Structure 1
Amino acid sequence: MPNKYTELEKLRELYSKGEITEEEFNLEKEKILKGEMTGDNKNFHKRVQNSDNRTFNSLMHISQLSNFLFPFLGIIIPIVMWSTRKEEDKSVDRNGKIILNWNISVFIYMSILVFILILMILGLGGLAIFSGMNLDSTAFGGFDVDSPAFVLKILGTFAIVIIPMIIFGLLDFIFTIVGAIKAGNGEIWNYPLSIRFFKTK
């Protein structure tokens, strides 16, 4: 059971957010200080716990942004956070699974794009260079390798893979922010394009 100081701190937080009135604040403060645990007080403690879990869920979503600081950190932190509280609260468990579903999905999508990119690099001259072949004007469909048209062709080909990678990076950032906001409001929101490996309902 949390001590009085922790309870008072949570009470002040609810009051500062406007979730309880001044009258409720003073009444619950008195009950906490007296150590009373009435039926109403238990309901209030449940409200405090729900607010705490919403904050935790929001932080769990936000922690994915640490991926932009260090690779895989944005996967490790949410998993650790989820595993510490998933048995205590259903909302924590569901939000953790939503995050896992999204991260696994992004990994699969990116792996496919990287594989395609590697094939394109090998197909656009890598094999010719490694095998010692001379590149002439017929090596790439009649394009002169020094011409602007050839450069545009290469850039256009790579853009087919690079642009989706950039889009997934932006979606990762946007979905993380939206997920954090919705989790803070107590909503369960599955990221679009996310494959449901774990059931969230």
Structure 2
Amino acid sequence: MEQSITDNQKNLGAFIHASTFLKYFFPLANFFAPLLLWTLHKEKRFLDHHGREALNFQLSIFIYALGIALLSLPFIAIFATDFISLVETIDRATDNHTMRHISNLGGYIALFAIFGLLLFGLFLFELYYVIMGTISASKGEQFKYPLSIKFITASETEQFENEPQDETFEENNSDSNISEEKISEEEKTQAYNNTSSSVDDIIDDSTTSKNS
């Protein structure tokens, strides 16, 4: 993420998340609104992150809701058949056969109640985390939605830059460079001392030979 995040970027990041609520006024606006904002400002790393998170979460919620709806389709078909049969029976007469149909419908109604609760729980789940994402973006913080499928991922370059071990790698490199500098200085000092001692030995030998 960028070192300095301006207030304008924070506001735009918050609006990217909040714009998904436009779906309650315009169909599919929860996809088009954040997509437009993300496309216009994704060169800013902070806005790129929040734009991808918002879009991935909305796509994930759509997939989950579609899955719940598809699971309920067979039960809807069976319920419709039994309901039509019940109406025809009521038209003829009220007897034990009719009561049996009514008891069968009770099971389907219970199943529909379960599917309804799942969809309502999904709605509350989305509502809560979109609000949390909006608040985090307004504070200039990162935010990751839970259970979000990564349809849109960051580029390999961004992923490499965001890895925490990069700092450790740089620190290790700096430490190794310092160690190499210390070793080279020690080698230079030792070589200088050896040269000085050799020169002293030569001077001593020449002095001794003259005296003799």
SS of the equivalent of 1:188 reads coil
Taking the TM superposition and a 5 Å limit, the aligned residue runs for 1:159-174 are 159-174=113-128
TM-score between both structures, scaled by the size of structure 2: 0.61
Q: Give the Cα–Cα distance (whole angstroms) in 1 for the partners of residues 81 and 32 of structure 2.
A: 36
Mark the CA change 1:128 to 1:151 in structure 2 (over 3 Å): closer, same or farther: closer
Contact residue 78 and residue 96 of structure 1 kept, 8 A? yes
Unmatched 5+ stretches in structure 2 = 160-212
Residue 86 of structure 1: CA displacement? 0.5
State the match for 1:126 in structure 2: 81
Mark the CA change 1:160 to 1:138 in structure 2 (over 3 Å): closer, same or farther: farther
One-letter code of the match for 1:76? F
One-letter code of the match for 1:63? S
TM-score between both structures, scaled by the size of structure 1: 0.64
State the match for 2:17 in structure 1: 61
Taking the TM superposition and a 5 Å limit, the aligned residue runs for 1:118-197 are 118-126=73-81, 129=84, 144-146=100-102, 149-197=103-151
State the match for 2:28 in structure 1: 72
Residue 159 of structure 1: CA displacement? 1.9
SS of the equivalent of 1:144 reads helix
Q: Would you say how many aligned residue pairs link Structure 1 and Structure 2?
A: 148
Unmatched 5+ stretches in structure 1 = 1-45
State the match for 1:94 in structure 2: 49
1:116 to 71, 78, 86: 71
One-letter code of the match for 2:118? P
Cα RMSD for the two superposed structures: 2.8
Contact residue 128 and residue 134 of structure 1 kept, 8 A? no
Contact residue 56 and residue 151 of structure 2 kept, 8 A? yes
Identical counterparts, % of pairs: 24
Q: Give the Cα–Cα distance (whole angstroms) in 1 for the partners of residues 89 and 80 of structure 2.
A: 10
One-letter code of the match for 2:110? G
CA offsets, 1:144-191, max 9 Å, x none?
A: 223xx4453222111221111111111111111110000111111111
CA offsets, 1:57-104, max 9 Å, x none?
A: 0011111111122221122111111111112x0011110100111011
One-letter code of the match for 1:196? K
Q: Which has the higher helix share?
A: 2
